[in-house]
Structure 1
Amino acid sequence: MTTETIVYIIIAGVISFALALFMYGYKTKYSKSLSWIFGILRFITLFSLLLLLINPKFKSETYSIEKPKLPVLVDNSVSIAELNQTDQVSVLLEKLKNNENLNEKFDLSFFSFGSDFEELDSLSFSKKNSNLTKALEATDNLFKNENAPTILVTDGNQTLGSDYEFTSATYKNAIYPFILGDSTTYTDLKIERLNSNRYAFLKNKFPVEVILVYNGTGSVTSQFIISHGGATVFRETISFSENTNSKTLNFTLPASNVGLQKYTAQIVPLEDEKNKTNNNKQFAVEVIDQATNVLVVSDIIHPDLGALKKSITANEQRTLTIKKPSEATSILNEYQLVVLFQPDRSFTQVYSEIKNLKKNTLTITGTNTDWNFLNSIQQEFKKETSLQTEEVSATLNNNYGTFAVEHIGFNDFPPLKTTFGDLSVLVPHEILLGQSINGFETGAPMLATLELNGKRDAVWDGEGFWKWRAQLYLQSDTFQEFDVFMGKLVQYLASNKRRSRLEVSNETFYYNNNSIKILAQYFDKNFVFDSRAALNISVRNVETETQTVFPMLLRNNFYEVDLNSLPAGEYKYTVSVADESISRSGNFTILDFNVEQQFLNADFSKLIRVAQNTNGTAYFPSEVDRMIEGLIADDSYQSVQKSELKTVPLIDWKYLLALIVLTLSAEWFIRKYNGLI
């Protein structure tokens, strides 16, 4: 308390005493004993009330001891079991949990990781991928303000994410790798990587790239073979030596039959190879007999055209051609979709031919669009504009039901530029993206899809969406999210297929170490997305006839199921709606590939370098006790005494209020008892 507050309290005491003395000591009519009692009670009441008005503040300081954190990250991937290291993990965890000195010095916490990072519950060693970078970055963020050395229990073999060795220099705390696996080098041939297209066109050839790696001493020769349906379609003799221990093969294979074509690649194993799992790899190509051809008609040069071409042709089933209006009229019938980019009066013949051929269109407008021409040449939408321009941001319509759209961060994208005025759509339509200006939604569409008399169209009012694609790449190092969004829009517009109340989307084949998801949308009779429905998917293995039923879970405006629990094989599925006679069927294939089974050894050299980069120490399974003793003996990890200073105002002290109530009540009862009331 300050000196001023103490003076106020003394004054309050003097005033309270003076008032009590005046009321019960000067010419009082009460007996001496009652006067003393009433005077004391009144003094307490008055003094307490004045204290509340002064409201002095009291400071209290508490002390606590905070131990340094010791997070333990355990690799829960299949490779740990493949290297026969599960017992070593159990021994380590048991010793860490039961060592009294270690637990007295550190606050231990346990986590596991595969492709995801999570708190340790139990270990199955069944995760099909390992992302060490994600686990270390999550731990670094979780304990960013703590002195928290990290024990990393792993074989060091990473299958997802950026290289953890090169990101380890940014970690704030030391890393102590506990290296699982054998450091002995075995003779081994393996298929390090195989790249091929997911799609190929009938009677064309598709490229295949294979990287083969040899570990061992001396020179060896083997055969690389690709087989399809029991027949060998490619063979090459490969020689390796200690100095030439990798080979890259580039070749093409013919796409002779329509449908899913499965291939098996093999590097014939050597006699003394220990791990022969990594000598084989399956891959597949879907051969299609027709591509989706998209024509972009534009009379100007604009960055959006480049973004359109990259996004649409990211799917190899689609081709895109850019033509000027004067060149496009005679070739419109060769394309399933026509993109009209910033139309002006030079598009007159193009619109006339589109009307005759009833071609589906995507109209993209912006600052170079001639709206007087556009309003007169078609009757689907219009915009009364001036010569002024404005910037508009996008907002996703979560109730959009024409096709499934994932939110890729539209609200955070840079605004697009357009001419001033509201866009009005004059035919039945659905808004996919709405417009907002400075955070306020205008109610006007930015991107809307139209469907009338079997013809599908869309209008996108805004230029500059190339910035959206660039921003997504900066955020995630991939254009995929934007390309998938554009791909779904093009897929819808390029098709004249009659709309169904139940739409199902899936890939033709999946690798079993990746996500296996099937999406569905269900609409009511007015073709409005129905979020109240109960959808189930029945999946049957073609070979074993095993049938499993999974519920499909609602996510935003579509239903989803993850089938990662299914083993490799060919499957047929049926998606059905409860209490409705509506269903859709299809098929898919799961190809067997477990990247975690490709490793023979621990990557001990990389883990040792990570320890050195972070001022930690690497340990092997035989050094469990030495690791624990080293952590206990390290003086750089000490408990910290923390103090907390609290300032509490008297008005928060409830006991003083209770005292006032008590004194007033006591005075009232005494008066009542003595007949003074």
Structure 2
Amino acid sequence: MSFLRFASASLIVFLLLNIFLKQLKNETQNPVILLAVDNSRSMLANSDSAFIKQEFLKNIGSVRTALEKKFSVKTVLFGSKTKAAEADPEFNEKETDIDNMISDVENNYSNQNIGALILVSDGIYNKGSNPLYNVEKLQFPVYTVATGDTNEVKDIAIRKINHNQFAYSGNIFPVEIVINAKKYSGKELTVSINDPFGKKFTQQLKATSDNFLSTLTFTFNAEASGVQHFHTQVTLMEDESNVANNSQSFVIEVIDNRSKILLLANYPHPDVAAIKEALLSSGNYETEYALSADFQKPLKAYSLVILHGYSPQNTQLISDCRNNNIPLWLVNPSVPENLPGVKIASSFNKQNEAEAVVNNSFGLFNISDDLKKFVKELPALKTFFGNYSLNNGSNSLINQKIGMVETESPVLLFSETNGLKTSVFIGDGLWRWKLRDFSEHKNCNLFNELIGKVIQYLTVKGDKSFFRITSPKIVNENEMVELSAEVYNKTYELITEPDVTLILINEKNKQFNYTFSKTSNAYKLNLGFLPPGEYKYEAKVKVNNELIVKKGSLHVKEVVAEKLNTVANHQLLFQLSARSGGKLFYPKDLQKLQDDILKNQFIKPITYSTNLTTSIIDLKWLFFVILIILSVEWFLRKRFSTI
């Protein structure tokens, strides 16, 4: 009994000393083999389409089954975007972006033991950057399986149509048609464009080589506002193997008036240059730049004022904008006080390093999924340190992310007071966002989209009705069509009690009925992917005992990228493999591919060791041991004392 008493007392002393125990924990991670299959239409564009859809997929499945005996195998399908495979590929994607697939693999599987990437493709990409720029970032080999036919065939194609998305009524706008003729040297070609008013414009040219490339320029007058449809046709030859690329359609939205924007800055800054270049690249706005101290003109002529580096010295300018009802966008204000739409209780001269995150409940306008994804990857901004509170009626599109915490403190917010729209971009470093866009995509399209969406929202004249619909006018067939709506009561407060319905009518006058889903203060409707064509819609809501009807139209453009080029690019696939330490195989060599991966000594499990430190007081079972010892000691003492 004394021993039991000693043992329990010793254990209690150990607990009071709070001794720490060290433990080495090993975790083994098996290699993962990624199988990426090109799900685009060009995979079935050649004579081996039946083989690809049946026997080839069966053979790929056999390779996957064999590899699964030793590795974990994950399959992804890619086209314009990359997604995990839930079924066999249908080869119906309208675009191919190999670079996006590589980036997606790098981002989503960076913390896993990836042994190899098997890329099944014809090597044709028609979206995104050259994948060779990105493949060297991968820390594992890329094995490519080359499909399709690399033989050049007789073909005349419209490779590209260069045109502005918008034109202003009364202006002249150019359209460039890029023609490519292969193996038709000496042949006369005719290129024609039919405009929406029944006029036909033609130009003649002669192919001077077997790989002839030429750009023709047509000019048109923007005669009527709205979405205008044009159809382009190039000569058809009887012995062409691919006639789907001999014609293309395109649309241009003609706008009544050109907005005039005033860009002011308190001092030179790269943010100003980035915004100015984005405005000029769109061609939709007449932009005037000046330092605020030098600007003396009246503001009435402008549709929007953008002010960079707002400070108290700009109080009169802000007042003039309000008096003239001119929308205002403040970028990178130098002080946190008196900002429209937000109150900031900030400590003087203190700043945060804040990353950007999209506010998913934002409903004033829509941005593309690519832009939403890109916002997460943007460089951090320097923002005011303090407590932020949005005013009633303010909406933030982008919020701050401090470390791992997504806050509700805004980076980009919008507000409207008495019909006057204002926006504030809180943060220093907008220009870095443009550089990151160019670095990642070799263009600034996503940055320009963000600036364009802000400008478009601020310059659109306010709608005073109780029911407002926001919808795109032109979308691609591989983009989801999303609409938003707002309903107001008599005091112009947002409400969501009544149901909003919509009737969509296609070119064949077939009707489709929808009901908007409700958010906290607005309505949203996702129509999904729509076939190419012209659509009309009619939205209805009953508010204030009145039935309100809104009508509109939208055009869904056909995506023809997969029709333009059907000649496989095996050289690209070879380079992808060579630069990453992999190999190129053909469909008949799948067994060799399987053996090569199984015998690769560098594809092996990785064991991670972790030192764990545990306080002895956290060992719950020790308390039960002490309790049992004390119970046994008490029982024995009671027992022997009775005897």
Match 1:131 to one of 97, 120, 123: 97
Match 1:575 to one of 526, 536, 539: 539
State the number of aligned residues.
613
Higher helix share: 1
Alignment TM-score, normalising by the size of structure 2:
0.76
**Which amino acid is 2:6 matched to?**
L
Q: 1:569 to 1:548 in 2, by over 3 A?
A: farther
Q: 1:563 to 1:191 in 2, by over 3 A?
A: farther
Q: Pairwise mapping of residues 179-578 of structure 1 onto structure 2 (< 5 A)?
A: 179-216=146-183, 218-229=185-196, 231=198, 233-242=200-209, 244-295=211-262, 306-307=273-274, 309-322=276-289, 334-337=301-304, 358-360=324-326, 362=328, 403-404=364-365, 414-415=381-382, 430=394, 449=415, 451-452=417-418, 456=420, 458=422, 467=431, 470=434, 473=437, 483-484=448-449, 487=452, 490-491=455-456, 494=459, 497-523=462-488, 525-530=490-495, 535-549=500-514, 551-552=516-517, 554=519, 559-577=523-541
1:586 to partner: Cα distance: 1.0
Confirm or deny: 8 A CA contact 1:294 1:339 kept in the other structure: yes
Match 1:69 to one of 29, 32, 36: 32
**Which amino acid is 1:516 matched to?**
V
Separation in 1, partners of 2:591, 2:133: 29
Moved more, 534-543 or 406-415: 406-415
Q: Where does structure 2 lack aligned partners over 5 or more consecutive residues?
A: none
* Residues 561-602 of structure 1 deviation map (CA, whole Å, 9 limit, x = unaligned): 443421111111233458884453211111223322333232
2:126 pairs with 1:166: no
* Residues 405-463 of structure 1 deviation map (CA, whole Å, 9 limit, x = unaligned): 8786899764479xxxx9999x9985869999x99x999999775544x6x36486989
Confirm or deny: 8 A CA contact 1:431 1:445 kept in the other structure: no
Q: 1:500 to 1:215 in 2, by over 3 A?
A: same
Q: 1:345 to 1:512 in 2, by over 3 A?
A: closer
Counterpart of 1:610 in structure 2 is 576
Higher strand share: 2
1:292 to partner: Cα distance: 2.1
Confirm or deny: 8 A CA contact 1:140 1:171 kept in the other structure: yes
Separation in 1, partners of 2:85, 2:389: 55
Q: 1:560 to 1:155 in 2, by over 3 A?
A: farther
C-alpha root-mean-square deviation of aligned residues, in Å? 5.2
Alignment TM-score, normalising by the size of structure 1:
0.73
Q: Where does structure 1 lack aligned partners over 5 or more consecutive residues?
A: 1-19, 21-41
1:111 to partner: Cα distance: 1.8
Match 1:79 to one of 33, 42, 46: 42
Separation in 1, partners of 2:251, 2:461: 29
Secondary structure of 2:218 counterpart: strand
Identical positions, percent: 21
Moved more, 128-137 or 532-541: 532-541
1:310 to partner: Cα distance: 3.7
Moved more, 277-286 or 499-508: 499-508
Match 2:550 to one of 571, 584, 593: 584
Confirm or deny: 8 A CA contact 2:481 2:530 kept in the other structure: no
* Residues 67-120 of structure 1 deviation map (CA, whole Å, 9 limit, x = unaligned): 432211112222223342222442233212443xx4333332222222222222
Counterpart of 1:599 in structure 2 is 565
Separation in 2, partners of 1:625, 1:607: 19
* Residues 505-529 of structure 1 deviation map (CA, whole Å, 9 limit, x = unaligned): 2232223134433333344555444
Confirm or deny: 8 A CA contact 2:172 2:220 kept in the other structure: yes
Separation in 1, partners of 2:351, 2:607: 55
Secondary structure of 2:531 counterpart: coil
Separation in 1, partners of 2:629, 2:311: 88
Q: 1:433 to 1:201 in 2, by over 3 A?
A: closer
Separation in 1, partners of 2:530, 2:160: 24
